[in-house]
């Protein structure tokens, strides 16, 4: 199978983040098995999802992990001109959900797998395919731990193939998503001074978060990112039942996108301290006043690979790039870095095409992606 045929097969599996990915994983396993490659699963607790890893080449230190995720985002509500789960060629573009983000990279490395098997590799190449990246990079931590424990040797670094137009990406922002729930006291709106409105208090907390972002922007910046500071954003707000009823409950969801220099835990600690202070003050009015904040999904750490690190120089050599770049979105690269594998992001396709209707990857990017993997194989042989 050539790279377009493999990509077409991968796109045909409508595996959304949060859903079971065992169907696409079974096909990938079968493809690898036919090449004589033994792969291993890393299941979630329920057993309905799994990551996959394998090694091609000798069991020696110094190998590279090639990593990507198997899930995609939904297509519901989007105006597609083609069937999103049928790879469709129009001109020099290949359309389909996941064609860019990020099944193109999976197709590139799977296409190159026969060459890896037949090469006299001096250093190993590992595949690491995860689940549920699109809903919070949930599968990667267990996959990274499994790789570290399974192999006696230690891979040197990881190459995560998120779409970057094959430009080496050395930095990403970290992210976490929180939900804050404010429990106040219900009552007639004329009693606003005798009750505690959950909506009013939630609004004050949101203003505090915005002011915190502004403080962080003044304290630290990283011009590699846009915006060049840690951002805090509230995306949803729900509360109240009527304009003349004081709301006893209000909730909002918010995220932190953190530059490498800042700390998500420190921001959360400061917010928690402020919430405890508000509770103490307002319980003089309503003793059961409570502010609760829970993780909507756990922290994904930032990536801050130095340009002179070995993995950065390797990908720069393969791509013949004259620059490095950074991205403000989160990816599994930060998790691989935190797990002990210096990492970089570099993959075919443009992130501007991801998560939208009529997602595509150009045939030229797909071809060049295969060429880069082939150059890696020759360098490791």
**pLDDT tens digits for range 49-63:** 999 999 999 999 999
Instruction: Determine the pLDDT at residue 328.
Output: 86
- Could you tell me if 24 and 168 lie in one domain? yes
Mean pLDDT of 304-308: 96
How does residue 334 score in pLDDT terms, banded at 50, 70 and 90?
A: very high
Mean pLDDT estimate for the chain: 97
Q: Quick one: which of 371, 355, 354, 352 has its CA closest to 363?
A: 371
Q: Dmax over Cα atoms in the chain, in whole Å? A: 80
Instruction: Determine the pLDDT at residue 298.
Output: 84
Burial class (CB in 10 A: 0-12, 13-18, 19+), 62: middle
Is the omega angle on the peptide bond into residue 199 within 30 degrees of 0, that is, cis? no
- Whether the pLDDT of residue 338 is over 90: the answer is yes
3-state secondary structure of 271: helix
Instruction: Determine the pLDDT at residue 182.
Output: 98
- Whether the pLDDT of residue 94 is over 90: the answer is yes
CATH code for position 231: 3.30.70.360
What pTM was computed for the model? 0.91
pLDDT digits (tens, 9 = 90+) for 156-194: 999 999 999 999 999 999 999 999 999 999 999 999 999
Instruction: Determine the pLDDT at residue 297.
Output: 82
- Could you tell me if 189 and 259 lie in one domain? yes
% the chain with pLDDT above 90: 98
CATH code for position 161: 3.40.630.10
Instruction: Determine the pLDDT at residue 348.
Output: 98
% the chain with pLDDT above 70: 100
pLDDT digits (tens, 9 = 90+) for 339-355: 999 999 999 999 999 99
CA dist 208 and 33 (Å) reads 55
The bridge status of strand 157-160 relative to strand 64-69 is: parallel
Domain that holds residue 41: 3-172+303-380
- Could you tell me if 145 and 261 lie in one domain? no
Q: Token match 């399974």: residue?
A: 150
For 43, other C-beta atoms within 10 Å of its C-beta total: 15
- Could you tell me if 166 and 61 lie in one domain? yes
Instruction: Determine the pLDDT at residue 299.
Output: 92
Instruction: Determine the pLDDT at residue 204.
Output: 98
Question: What is the number of structural domains in the chain?
Answer: 2
DSSP 310-339: HHHHHHHHHHT-S--EEESS--THHHHHHT
């Amino acid at each position: 199978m050539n790279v377009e045929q493999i990509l077409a097969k991968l796109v045909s599996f409508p595996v959304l983040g949060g859903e079971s990915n065992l169907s696409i994983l079974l096909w990938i396993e079968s493809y690898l098995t036919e090449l004589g490659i033994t792969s291993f699963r890393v299941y979630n607790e329920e057993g309905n999802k799994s990551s996959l890893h394998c090694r091609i080449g000798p069991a020696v230190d110094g190998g590279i992990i090639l990593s990507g995720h198997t899930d995609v985002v939904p297509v519901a509500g989007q105006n597609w001109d083609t069937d999103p789960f049928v790879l469709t060629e129009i001109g020099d573009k290949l359309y389909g959900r996941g064609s860019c983000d990020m099944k193109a990279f999976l197709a590139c490395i799977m296409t190159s797998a026969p060459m890896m098997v037949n090469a006299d590799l001096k250093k190993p190449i590992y595949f690491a395919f995860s689940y549920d990246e699109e809903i919070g990079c949930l599968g990667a931590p267990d996959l990274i731990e499994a790789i570290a424990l399974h192999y006696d040797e230690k891979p040197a670094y990881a190459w995560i193939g998120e779409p970057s137009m094959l430009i080496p990406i050395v930095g990403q922002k970290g992210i976490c998503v929180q939900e804050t729930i404010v429990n106040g006291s219900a009552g007639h709106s004329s009693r606003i001074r005798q009750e505690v409105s959950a909506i009013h208090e939630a609004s004050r907390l949101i203003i505090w978060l915005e002011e915190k972002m502004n403080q962080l922007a003044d304290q630290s910046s990283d011009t590699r990112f846009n915006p060049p500071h840690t951002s805090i954003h509230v995306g949803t707000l729900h509360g109240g039942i009527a304009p003349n009823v004081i709301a006893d409950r209000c909730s909002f969801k918010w995220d932190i996108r953190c530059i490498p220099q800042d700390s998500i835990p420190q921001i959360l600690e400061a917010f928690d301290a402020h919430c405890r202070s508000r509770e103490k003050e307002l319980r003089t009015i309503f003793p059961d006043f409570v502010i609760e904040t829970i993780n909507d999904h756990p922290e994904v750490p930032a990536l801050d690979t130095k340009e002179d690190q070995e993995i950065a120089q390797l990908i720069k050599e393969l791509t013949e790039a004259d620059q490095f770049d950074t991205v403000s979105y989160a990816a599994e690269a930060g998790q691989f870095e935190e797990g002990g594998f210096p990492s970089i992001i570099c993959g075919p396709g443009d992130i501007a095409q991801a998560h939208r209707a009529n997602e595509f990857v150009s045939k030229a990017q797909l071809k060049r992606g295969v060429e880069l993997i082939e150059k890696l194989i020759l360098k490791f042989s």
